[in-house]
Amino acid sequence: MTSFRLGIAGLGTVAQGVLDIVRENGSVIASRTGVELTIQRVASRTARPDVDLCGATFSTELRDLIDDPQVDVVLELIGGETVARQFIGDALAAGKPVVTANKAVIAAYGNELLTQFPGVGLRFEAAVAGAIPIIQAIRSGLVANRFEHVVGIINGTCNYILTAMQEQGAAFEDALARAQELGYAEADPTFDVDGIDAAHKLAILLGLAFDVPFNFDDIAIEGIRGVTPEDIQYAEELGYRIKHLGIARQTTAGLEARVHPTLVPVQQLIASVNGVLNAVLVKTDAAGDTLFSGPGAGGAATASAVLSDVLATAEAGETPTWRSGEAELKVLPVAETYSAHYLRIPALDEPGVFAQVANALSRYGISIEAAIQKGLQDHASTPPVVAIVILTQVTREADIAAAVAELEDLPQVAGEIARIRVESLA
């Protein structure tokens, strides 16, 4: 039996989850792995006398975790960017392996930390999709494969809101308020609903699957504020659900990396992943399609992933390298990416309008896959306004953006056009 001593930075949701699992499942972990986990130290800004620290020494000084020779691994569970990045760097510089759940730090500074301290050990399974062991799957279970795409519902808050809009016909604001009441969304929901959190996670998945550096700035980001109950209803009529997806894909031209609301065919399993659950669909050359689903957040679920990294550190020490050394792929500008699109066009109910819309699209080489006209959007105007709903075939982003701008200038188009990408995931 090997003893492995943890130093935990932070005493919030995830840290408490770690303490609970070590207390409750420590003996099972020891009998399975031969590693006996103990909590040597906890350091956090605020003492929490109500929390059982499993016999650990507490201090308010994060540095104590690094300086204590009895700490074998440091867990960074404070969140945020600046202090956390500094703390992780200091620990690695002192030769202490680090496990973190911090996607923001890894997406922005992961390369720097991994290359500066290559032999020490920096693991971050919990940073992407909570309990789902997706990093282990990419780096270990599927290591013999070339990746075609990694597509995921990787923000539980967005998925909860879109599911509530789907199931209850709720407006975005009402679904968000409910998510906040239930603790699924922060008081300031920007990071989640505007897609930033998902982009942090996608930057990590992209890097791991396609052997490129983590680069948050490579990700094209759209959130879910613009999705309406009508879009969800019309999508359903056309055989689709709207999900907020992170998409990392290799094409012949380069890599696509984007997070945005997406129409997904109802028959795709990922379309049925609802509520706060996360799911990641991986397509590779040898294994084909694999789908991973589970809780993307929560103290215990996230702590489960943290402890899997702790045990990997105890067993293997160094972080394995994953760069293949093959020619590095470039991430394409979003204008050069390809998707089908859903368009909801508010148009005057006059003869010939649909033909004008079709003509404008065809000038940009965009074909229509399906179209429906929906009832009155605005009863008051004369002539009345209807919604023309169109699914296009796969088209270049730059072309559809230009076509939509031209359509919005038509006198028969009575407002902004809603545009949502469609992915078959076939």
Ligand X SMILES: NC(=O)c1ccc[n+]([C@@H]2O[C@H](COP(=O)([O-])OP(=O)(O)OC[C@H]3O[C@@H](n4cnc5c(N)ncnc54)[C@H](OP(=O)(O)O)[C@@H]3O)[C@@H](O)[C@H]2O)c1
Handedness of CA 111, 112, 116, 120 (dihedral sign): negative
Binding characters for ligand X, 15-54, by CB under 6 A (x = yes): x----------------------------xxx--------
Binding characters for ligand X, 146-185, by CB under 6 A (x = yes): ----------------------------------------
Q: Compute the distance between CA of residue 113 and CA of residue 93 in angstroms, rounded to an integer.
A: 10
Which stretch, 72-80, 160-168, 308-316, 408-416, contacts ligand X (CB under 6 A)?
72-80
Number of amino acids touching ligand X (CB under 6 A): 22
Chain positions 319 to 358 lying near ligand X, rule: CB under 6 A, are none
Q: Which is nearer to ligand X, 22 or 340 (CB)?
A: 22
Half-sphere exposure of 293 (CA within 13 A, CB side): 11
Which stretch, 11-19, 113-121, 204-212, 321-329, contacts ligand X (CB under 6 A)?
11-19
Q: Is 130 in the site for ligand X (CB under 6 A)?
A: yes
Q: How far is the CB of 52 from ligand X (least distance, A)?
A: 15
Q: How far is the CB of 80 from ligand X (least distance, A)?
A: 6
Q: How far is the CB of 277 from ligand X (least distance, A)?
A: 13
Q: Which is nearer to ligand X, 302 or 319 (CB)?
A: 302
Q: Quick count: other Cβ atoms within 10 Å of Cβ 195?
A: 26
Q: How far is the CB of 13 from ligand X (least distance, A)?
A: 4
Q: Which is nearer to ligand X, 102 or 395 (CB)?
A: 102
**44 with 64: CB under 8 angstroms?**
no
Q: Which is nearer to ligand X, 40 or 392 (CB)?
A: 40
- The residue written with tokens 């957040």 in the block is 297
Nearest-10 crossing angle of helices 299-316, 13-33 = 50
Q: Compute the distance between CA of residue 250 and CA of residue 36 in angstroms, rounded to an integer.
A: 42
Could you please report the per-residue DSSP string of 60-104? S-THHHHH-TT--EEEE-S-SSHHHHHHHHHHHHTT--EEE--HH
- Beta strand 73-76 with 57-59 is unpaired
Q: Is 121 in the site for ligand X (CB under 6 A)?
A: no
Q: Compute the distance between CA of residue 57 and CA of residue 40 in angstroms, rounded to an integer.
A: 6
Which stretch, 6-14, 209-217, 286-294, 389-397, contacts ligand X (CB under 6 A)?
6-14
Phi, psi dihedral angles at 405 (to 5 degrees): -60, -40
Q: Which of 18, 65, 88, 101 contacts ligand X by CB under 6 A?
A: 101
Residue-wise burial string across 282-321, b where 16 or more C-beta atoms lie within 10 A, e elsewhere: bbbeeeeeeebbbbbbbbbbbbbbbbbbbbbbbeeeebee
Q: How far is the CB of 105 from ligand X (least distance, A)?
A: 7
Among 290, 307, 291, which Cα is nearest to 299's?
307
Q: Is 77 in the site for ligand X (CB under 6 A)?
A: yes
| 30: CB partners within 8 A, 6+ apart | 1, 36, 37
Q: Which of 5, 42, 99, 102 contacts ligand X by CB under 6 A?
A: 102
Q: Is 12 in the site for ligand X (CB under 6 A)?
A: yes
Which stretch, 4-12, 32-40, 311-319, 364-372, contacts ligand X (CB under 6 A)?
4-12
- Give the residue numbers marked as catalytic: 201
Q: Which is nearer to ligand X, 268 or 302 (CB)?
A: 302
Token readout for 391 is: 């699914």
Q: How far is the CB of 288 from ligand X (least distance, A)?
A: 29
- Beta strand 2-9 with 73-76 is parallel
- The residue written with tokens 């992209």 in the block is 206
Q: Is 302 in the site for ligand X (CB under 6 A)?
A: yes
Q: Quick count: other Cβ atoms within 10 Å of Cβ 352?
A: 8
Q: Is 297 in the site for ligand X (CB under 6 A)?
A: yes
Q: Which of 133, 195, 223, 298 contacts ligand X by CB under 6 A?
A: 298
**Which residues of this protein are in contact with ligand X, per CB under 6 A?**
10-15, 44-46, 62, 77-80, 83, 101-102, 126, 130, 297-298, 302
